[in-house]
A and B are shown apart, each in its own frame.
Chain A
């Protein structure tokens, strides 16, 4: 199979994630879209690693996974705290700070 198909998939996943962040209103769903973007970047890294014939891209994708796990810890803590205070995880309800 042509290796560029993996890249197309990666770009499509990234676009779905980036669009999802902009159109969805639930903080958890937005967060899942961000995770999708990180995984799209991982797929691109591994594909390019295969093309370049070295391991650097694969090593980078491991680091990305660890960082994504840390982000889940911090992010869910913040989302759960705000959900407990106002019984909603919608980003539209979070509007005390005016623009």
Chain B
């Protein structure tokens, strides 16, 4: 009854390379002394991501649904998102490479002698690099998974390293550990819902393949009750990962508690992977019963946009503000999901790229603003920063204006194209609410920009540290991309247009 599976290794290679790099990283941890591990791990991680990306470019036109016996679908959409995740992970690793963000001895009690000894001996946490690579491998598998087992395994492979990475912050150890605990408990809770949904979809259709679940609807194989239970629970699991509103409560806490480079990595890449899976499921498997889930998802999108932008206005902490901003963006992206047309798919892809670059860049800048006790995330301390460090302030303003969707930045093009797609699908309500909440959102981004440029600096002010060359490269690339995609959007618009194909 069992047949030998045939695997097309060339098409799976980008993921396998990243996993191989992660395993090598674990070996490096075991065999090299603590002084030499740092440079080796950085080189290994960056090299792995570059090789994987190069391979991905080689196979970018090999579209097939049978690379692993129907378990993954390597199509334009999947390859595009994999490439985006690799590029953003590369930039995030450049930020992670700065030694100053991670606890030197993670298992030591905060404030203990053991911790003090680890700090004075100058040891560093290099485990974070293999963990990042494992998470990247899961993220690359998630948007191309086309059966439910692969989907579930990919979800866990991307989540488990992130739970640990959240708890690694060097300063405010307790807060970081609490964030890890919250993220873990809520994440595991949501993946239990996700799995229960999978079980009922299997009960409905008798198959675990996304394609066959999609076609089972026509013949209505099993009881529709199973279908509805399955759909709702699976969607809850996915909406948790993207941080849509009834399931968003973990986002601000985890974003605030995690080490800032990890927050940037998590905010950008997890969102891309999760929306990749969400789009593949709703554009593929659930396409035929769209009338049963569209009202539900439209409501979620509207609440997410409105509540996200209102809650962001009341925040006093830059990391929490950015967290609520990422919740608002999840709402805008959901508008692309419910549009359910080719324009919606392409617009979502463009949006994810633009959002990813701006997010990594913005969190990169948050890592630079410090006082004697570490990063300062209180917004009132950021006042008048532009006088001390104009370049950093201008870059931050650029990212914030892009989040707000101001013309000449990538955010404007992405919002414009996603609302156009929603309008074409005839969903006027979501467009109206979307434009209104964009206006609310723009208000609080502008408030931060005004704080930076036009307020008097407080006496106990903060300083911007001189960034390391790697941090400088990462923020520079993000800023250039944000501006470039705003001024010459056709570069990427043409690409997403040709790449926005899904195979089933």
Find out whether the CB atom of B178 lies under 8 angstroms from the CB atom of A56.
Answer: no
Within residues 121 to 162 of chain B, which ones have a CB less than 8 A from any CB in chain A?
148-149, 152-153, 156, 160
Find out whether the CB atom of B149 lies under 8 angstroms from the CB atom of A59.
Answer: yes
Interface of B is mostly: helix
Chain B 93-108 near chain A by CB (<8 Å), digits 1 or 0: 0000000000000110
Within residues 173 to 210 of chain B, which ones have a CB less than 8 A from any CB in chain A?
173-175, 177-182, 184-185, 188-189, 192-193, 195-196, 198-200, 202-203, 206-208
Find out whether the CB atom of A97 lies under 8 angstroms from the CB atom of B175.
Answer: yes
Asked whether any CB of chain A lies closer than 8 Å to the CB of B489, the reply is no
Q: In chain B, what residue has the closest Cβ to A95?
A: B178
Give complex CA distance A67, B187 in Å.
Answer: 13
With a cutoff of 8 Å between Cβ atoms, the chain A residues found around residue B193 in the complex are 18, 37
Chain A 54-98 near chain B by CB (<8 Å), digits 1 or 0: 111101100110010011001101110110111000010011110
Q: A78 touches which one: B148, B180, B195, B203 (CB < 8 A)?
A: B180
Asked whether any CB of chain A lies closer than 8 Å to the CB of B167, the reply is yes
With a cutoff of 8 Å between Cβ atoms, the chain A residues found around residue B189 in the complex are 18, 21, 34, 37
Asked whether any CB of chain A lies closer than 8 Å to the CB of B215, the reply is no
Q: In chain A, what residue has the closest Cβ to B249?
A: A99
B interface, size bucket: 35 or more
Chain A 13-50 near chain B by CB (<8 Å), digits 1 or 0: 01001100100000100110010011011101101110
Q: In chain B, what residue has the closest Cβ to A61?
A: B199
Find out whether the CB atom of B202 lies under 8 angstroms from the CB atom of A78.
Answer: no
Find out whether the CB atom of B192 lies under 8 angstroms from the CB atom of A37.
Answer: yes
With a cutoff of 8 Å between Cβ atoms, the chain A residues found around residue B178 in the complex are 82, 94-97
Q: Distance in Å from the Cβ of A59 to the closest Cβ of chain B?
A: 7
With a cutoff of 8 Å between Cβ atoms, the chain B residues found around residue A86 in the complex are 174
Q: In chain B, what residue has the closest Cβ to A63?
A: B149
Q: Distance in Å from the Cβ of B467 to the closest Cβ of chain A?
A: 27
Give complex CA distance A38, B200 in Å.
Answer: 13
Give complex CA distance A21, B184 in Å.
Answer: 13
Q: Could you list 25 A-B pairs, sorted by A, with CB under 8 Å?
A: A31-B188, A41-B198, A44-B203, A48-B206, A52-B206, A54-B206, A60-B152, A64-B195, A70-B156, A70-B160, A71-B188, A75-B163, A78-B167, A78-B181, A81-B106, A82-B178, A84-B109, A85-B110, A85-B173, A85-B174, A94-B181, A94-B182, A97-B182, A99-B249, A99-B253
Chain B residues close to A by CB (< 8 Å): 1, 106-107, 109-110, 148-149, 152-153, 156, 160, 163-164, 167, 172-175, 177-182, 184-185, 188-189, 192-193, 195-196, 198-200, 202-203, 206-208, 249, 252-253, 256-257
Chain A residues close to B by CB (< 8 Å): 7, 10, 14, 17-18, 21, 27, 30-31, 34, 37-38, 40-42, 44-45, 47-49, 51-57, 59-60, 63-64, 67, 70-71, 74-75, 77-79, 81-82, 84-86, 91, 94-97, 99
